[in-house]
Structure 1
Amino acid sequence: MRTVASAPPAARARRALPLCAALLLAACAAESPPPAHGSSQMAGMMLDPQLSEISGLAASRRHADVLWMHDDGGNPERLFAVSTHGDRLATLRIDGVTKTDWEDIAAFELDGRAYLLIADTGDNGGLRRSLQLHVIEEPAKLENARLKPAWSIAFRWPDGARDCEAVAVDVQRKQVLLISKKRRPPELFALPLMPAGNALQTATRLGALAGIPEPDAQTLRNSPARAKLQGQVTAADVSPDGRTLAVMTYRYLLLYPRAPRQTWAEAVAAKPRISDLPWLPQAEALGWSADGRSLYATGEFIPAPLYRIAP
């Protein structure tokens, strides 16, 4: 969800200067080996105007070196197939759904098929009484086309509306994980991935996320608005092996490892591994690579770098 106020042309130009300078770096990084443990590299640059409001990212389980992305509310119901260098490969319209505020996407495999789960869960005003998740089977070909959901899940929160921009799938438990954005600390909820029937589901609260960094005194003094935002959760993803929950805020990357017999409630109650994100224009999209060795991340404005992060 776009939260930064519109800037005048001169300010936008100044903001874009670092990205313009980074174009050459992106070209070099495109053929580089994976980043070293604990580091990040620029995998590419997103310049296509249609990718100007990306709020969700997931690595394809069917097509090598392809990322699925979607844009924010106010745009058509569509998915983009994007290369790991940031080039748009195809645009797919999703029929039979209404897009209110798509905020995250997750990729998973189930019974030998590759799926994408789209989360229509944004609610800046805290007004929505019900929300939707749409599960779509990945297409066999990367070409412009129209798709329909394999199934959808309508749900509500157990105790009133809240904004949510982070959704992940634990396919081993056939569970959808959702993380609230503006509550402090952020809350973790769960839903069945394949509920019986079409009844409205109620999300189950599992617990709260520990370890979200608090703003330092200098940031609070100099930029109270930034201080308020930097710990808000904007994306999440479960690693392909099901062992680690990655959580993105506007400033940080948090990793919550889960032991074999642990629940996710227990995992997120423990101290996470925390690192600063590389610079992004409003960090809102994060997803594990299909091999689980790294994470891809990008932001909501164009031009935007596409990073590959080795946790």
Structure 2
Amino acid sequence: MLRSNHPVIRSAGRAMATGLLILAAACTQPVEEERLPEPRLEGVLLDMQLSEVSGLAASRQHEGIVWLHDDGDNPARLFAVNTSGRRVATFGIDGVTKTDWEDIAAFELEGRHYLLLADTGDNGGLRRTLQLHVIEEPGSLTNARLTPAWSLAFRWPDGARDCEAVAVDAERGEILLVSKKREPPELFTLPLRPGSQRLLTARPAGLLAGVPNPTPGPDGGQPSGRSRYDAQVTAASVSPDRLTLAVMTYRHLLLYSREPGANWTSAVESQPATSELPWLPQAEALGWSADGSALYATGEFIPAPLYRIPAQPAD
């Protein structure tokens, strides 16, 4: 997450109105790296309570609903939003301290639908422990209070790092975490259902291959302005069939394929299918559709587009 007072994005508000006017054109402009069919604009987030969205997961229980949450400096809450962008319900989360929520993952375990909330943001590299909270997906879309089914506390093995990308492979019993600012990005794992409440240590599991470099500056020089952050990872999501890990940076979508029976280390160390994201004010949130045919993507600030991005490579 880049804070709203960051000098790189102070002008974002002025650019949003112009950006939305060119959404249709942005969705149809060809990009050199594009290997996926064109994204579709599903809706627009206009509700000011959704102005700092940092995580997205498509509901496995309610058709046409995506779950969103915001990051630090906001209450511990979860939003149910339809794909046109309208907030349907708000759920407070009891029994947790919210520091900096940065991603959300939907998964099924033992016939129940769950959401994992990742309190893993650490812009300053100061946090010694981080938290993950698992809640059961509510059956009714009416404002209510929820309590985690279980929570995990963990630390990194070699010092603090920022992490905004967390995904779940329930069949393997793994939580996947991707670092944000390290080059190349690092993959770590944690057990989804640890046997005790002790402080866990994330296990290194590989380095992500094929993350595009930031756009060079004028005359091929060092990247400047916001392009310096293009390669930073801001979201991740495992497909419902568990064969693809989608990773979002501020500029690109990367799809890492896994052979059945293979681990995620071998997947992320192979070259991904890569496409440039459509226009977003700040790309922060990504999640697979429940049927695995596409991904939903949105960003911080209001207004923000909600895209549906087909997941099958173009011929």
TM > 0.5: yes
Is the CA contact 1:19–1:305 (under 8 Å) kept in the aligned structure 2? no
**Residues 106 and 225 of structure 1: is their aligned pair in 2 closer, same or farther, counting only changes over 3 Å?**
same
CA 1:211–1:52: 2 relative to 1, 3 Å:
same
Q: Determine whether 1:74 maps to 2:73.
A: yes
Give 1:153's aligned residue. Answer: 152
Alignment partner, residue 39 of structure 1? 38
Question: Per the alignment, in what secondary structure is the counterpart of residue 70 of structure 1?
Answer: strand
Which amino acid letter does the alignment assign opposite residue 227 of structure 2? A
Partner of 1:5: 5
1:56 maps to which residue?
55
Tell me, yes or no, if structure 1 residue 127 matches structure 2 residue 126: yes
RMSD: 2.2
Identity %: 63
5+ residue gaps, structure 1, are 26-35
Deviation at 1:11, TM superposition (A): 4.4
Structure 2 match to 1:279: 279
Matches within 5 A, 1:237-248: 237-248=237-248
Aligned to 1:65: 64
C-alpha deviation, 1:72, in angstroms: 1.0
Per-residue Cα deviation, 1:59-118 (whole angstroms, up to 9, x for no partner) = 011111100000010000000000011110000000000000000000001111100000
| CA deviation profile, 1:105-141 (whole Å, cap 9, x unmatched) | 0000111110000000000111111000000001110
Residue 228 of structure 1: SS of its match in structure 2? Answer: helix
Matched positions, count: 301
Q: Distance in 2 between matches of 1:216 and 1:250?
A: 12
Matches within 5 A, 1:159-238: 159-218=158-217, 221=221, 223-238=223-238
Q: CA–CA distance in 2 between the matches of 1:298 and 1:147?
A: 25
8 A Cα contact 1:19 1:303, kept in partner: no
The aligned amino acid for 2:245 is: L
Contact 1:176–1:191, Cα closer than 8 Å, also in 2: yes
1:142 aligns with 2:137: no
Q: TM-score, normalised by structure 2?
A: 0.91
Q: Which amino acid in the other structure matches residue 49 of structure 1? A: M
In structure 2, C-alpha distance between the alignment counterparts of 1:216 and 1:189, rounded to whole Å: 27
What one-letter code is carried by the residue in structure 2 that aligns with 1:164?
Answer: C
Structure 2 residue identity aligned to 1:279: W
- Indicate the SS of the match to 2:211: coil
Gaps of 5+ in 2: 25-34
Q: Which residue of structure 2 aligns with residue 305 of structure 1?
A: 305
Deviation at 1:143, TM superposition (A): 0.7
SS of structure 2 residue aligned to 1:241: coil
Letter in 2 for 1:42: L
Question: Displacement, 1:4?
Answer: 5.0
